[in-house]
Structure 1
Amino acid sequence: MENLLSLFEYQFFQNALLAAILTSLLAAMTGTYIVSRKIVFISGGITHASFGGIGMAYYFGVNPFLGAVVFAISTALGIEWIATKGKVREDSAIAILWSLGMALGIIFVFLTPGYTPNLMSFLFGSILSVGTADLWILSAVLIMTTGFFILFFRPIVYTAFDPEFSKTRGVPVALVRNIMAILIALAIVLSIRTMGIILVLSLFTIPQNTAFLFSGNFKPIIFGSAIFGVTGSLIGLLVASWLNIPGGAAIIFVLTLQFLLIKGIKLLVSQKK
């Protein structure tokens, strides 16, 4: 126990803990919007499509996260445009851009001259290597997202549940959806740093579905997602340090276990009634 508590004295663990908390709070807001709109796989589509930006960035000698941001935002806006203007179903648009991004990433990584870059940190995350600059960027995006949710909470909820009715009430549905697409893209790219491309989908869905067990309303789900996300992240980091396993994977495992335990308890309680 003392060894686990001593981890809090180290800067790298403090950074990892702060990154997990900030990422969980960011995912609580954007993830609730994603789950409410029933477009869960948009996070997977944006994440995997951003791999194309990572591959191209390596090829042209640019910061890979910059390439991921550009591709993620382009993909998010592309999904919205294809689904509305291109008359293509949203899930089909996600699948098209998902596969295109992955294909471009593989091609450009293969074409990169010299040593092939190590992509493990992008695929599985590297939360213990998060630096001060990463925390500042996470904080800035979190503040920006929180501000948008506070100022435009009702339009966000309206467009998530009933966009057609929202249009009749004068809500700028396209603008709100495009801004949310950009915020989702930024949240997902920043989460790649902690969770990795393969695991990041879970961060935007598991805490939200856990919170949904207690309430079906948008605002309580956000707060519940934040609580479950932060709690799961803290326990996951401690478990990862104790068992010497990857932090991102441990966090997702704890979040899943948390959901299953709460779901099981609620089922037992309902059966006794």
Structure 2
Amino acid sequence: MNIGTLWQHEFIQNAFLAGGCVAIAAALVGYFVVLRAQTFAGEALTDIGFTGATGAALLGLSPLPGMLVLSLLAACTIGLLGERLRGRDIEIGMVLSFALGLGVLFLSLYAASSASHASAGIGILFGSILSVSRGDVWLSLACALGCSLALLILYRPLLFASIDPEVAAARGVPVRLLSVIFLLLLALATAISVLVIGVLLVFALLVAPAAAAARLSPSPARALLLAVLLGLGSTWGGLLIAFLGPGQHLPASFCIATLATLCYAAATLSAHWRQRRPPQVPAQPAHPCKGRRTAA
């Protein structure tokens, strides 16, 4: 397959379209995940969503709706509990461990029911972008548009609440409501990212481009735009490498995760180099009387 005939295949079109939608949603939501230091919440929603995906597959349903439903329910619960979750690391860890173990049980039962189901279970864990249907593309587009529109409406109060929640609450910003809404958006972005990169590698798209953009630009608006560009570049570049690279038949999720990680590593090195570089001292302008002869 060469680049001239690549776009003629429908599964290639679906992969690039769905990957682009997922990359945009993950980058926009991921920036606020980094800003609010809520990567643990993303991990929790991923573990719980994995249980929903495998449970839905075991019932003969599509994994994506199952993951969406359980992730959204978990996001509501985490958002409503709020501060009451602090200091309960043991309880939270036990719940997440049980949810992950339950997902493994569902996955093993699903894989044992038929030989063809084993590959579907691997797709949930590591992504199956080559099997994305046109219906999945439309669902990804709807989710990406929903996330983008919600973040556009909530941009200023959510940014304020993310940077300084105490001052924002004192100014009348509904911090608790914003937290619940944001966790719902995070659950939505996490669930659709599974289409492209799978449960185990979902943070590659959710965190790496956004964290790289935050290191490269202090401006939130520019960092959001840069995160989207890095997410799209990692996704589409990973797909091109998987389809046309020298080692063809590489997993697309591996290529995407690798490019996203390299983006973050390059951004970290760039930020470190800028901090260590000595500041430029502006040249002093010449004195207007310098070089002139004084009158006798």
TM-score of the superposed pair, with normalisation by structure 1: 0.89
2:78 corresponds to: 79
2:134 corresponds to: 132
2:211 corresponds to: 209
Distance 2:91 2:74 in 1: 10
How big is the shift at 1:219? 2.0
1:219 corresponds to: 221
Moved over 6 A (4+): 90-93
Deviates more, 1:115-124 or 1:93-102: 93-102
2:162 corresponds to: 160
2:171 corresponds to: 169
Question: Could you give the per-residue CA deviations for residues 14-69 of structure 1, whole angstroms, max 9, x where no partner exists?
Answer: 21111221111101111011101001132222112112112322343333222211
1:257 corresponds to: 262
Deviates more, 1:165-174 or 1:100-109: 100-109
> Across the two proteins, how many residue pairs are aligned to each other?
271
Distance 1:36 1:193 in 2: 25
Specify whether residues 128 and 91 from structure 1 end up closer, same or farther in structure 2 by C-alpha distance, changes over 3 A only.
farther
- Larger radius of gyration, structure 1 or 2? 2
Amino acid at match of 2:104: I
How big is the shift at 1:13? 1.3
Question: Could you give the per-residue CA deviations for residues 247-273 of structure 1, whole angstroms, max 9, x where no partner exists?
Answer: 111011011123323433554566564
- 1:188 paired with 2:190, answer yes
Q: Quick check: 1:50–1:67 contact (8 Å CA) kept in 2?
A: yes
Amino acid at match of 1:122: I
Amino acid at match of 1:123: L
Amino acid at match of 2:261: T
Q: Quick check: 1:15–1:135 contact (8 Å CA) kept in 2?
A: yes
Q: Is the partner of 1:9 in helix, strand or coil?
A: coil
Distance 2:142 2:50 in 1: 23
Specify whether residues 104 and 184 from structure 1 end up closer, same or farther in structure 2 by C-alpha distance, changes over 3 A only.
same
Uncovered stretches (5+) of structure 1, i.e. residues with no partner: none
Deviates more, 1:51-60 or 1:194-203: 51-60
Q: Quick check: 2:216–2:267 contact (8 Å CA) kept in 1?
A: no
1:233 corresponds to: 235
Distance 2:228 2:88 in 1: 27
How big is the shift at 1:234? 1.7
Q: Percent of aligned positions with the same letter in both sequences?
A: 28
Q: Quick check: 1:83–1:93 contact (8 Å CA) kept in 2?
A: no
Distance 1:9 1:62 in 2: 30
Deviates more, 1:248-257 or 1:142-151: 142-151
Specify whether residues 272 and 18 from structure 1 end up closer, same or farther in structure 2 by C-alpha distance, changes over 3 A only.
same
Distance 1:96 1:221 in 2: 36
2:288 corresponds to: none
Q: Is the partner of 2:217 in helix, strand or coil?
A: coil
Specify whether residues 94 and 231 from structure 1 end up closer, same or farther in structure 2 by C-alpha distance, changes over 3 A only.
farther
Distance 1:194 1:167 in 2: 37
Distance 2:88 2:73 in 1: 15
Q: Is the partner of 2:46 in helix, strand or coil?
A: helix
Q: Is the partner of 1:245 in helix, strand or coil?
A: coil
Amino acid at match of 1:144: G
Amino acid at match of 1:254: L
How big is the shift at 1:92? 6.2
Q: Quick check: 2:72–2:184 contact (8 Å CA) kept in 1?
A: yes
Deviates more, 1:64-73 or 1:212-221: 212-221
Q: Is the partner of 1:62 in helix, strand or coil?
A: coil
Specify whether residues 159 and 60 from structure 1 end up closer, same or farther in structure 2 by C-alpha distance, changes over 3 A only.
same
1:245 corresponds to: 250
1:199 corresponds to: 201
Question: Could you give the per-residue CA deviations for residues 145-196 of structure 1, whole angstroms, max 9, x where no partner exists?
Answer: 2211222211111222222222211111222111111111111111101100
How big is the shift at 1:124? 0.3
Distance 1:166 1:93 in 2: 30
Amino acid at match of 2:98: L
Q: Quick check: 1:210–1:225 contact (8 Å CA) kept in 2?
A: yes
1:51 corresponds to: 50
1:8 corresponds to: 7
1:102 corresponds to: 100
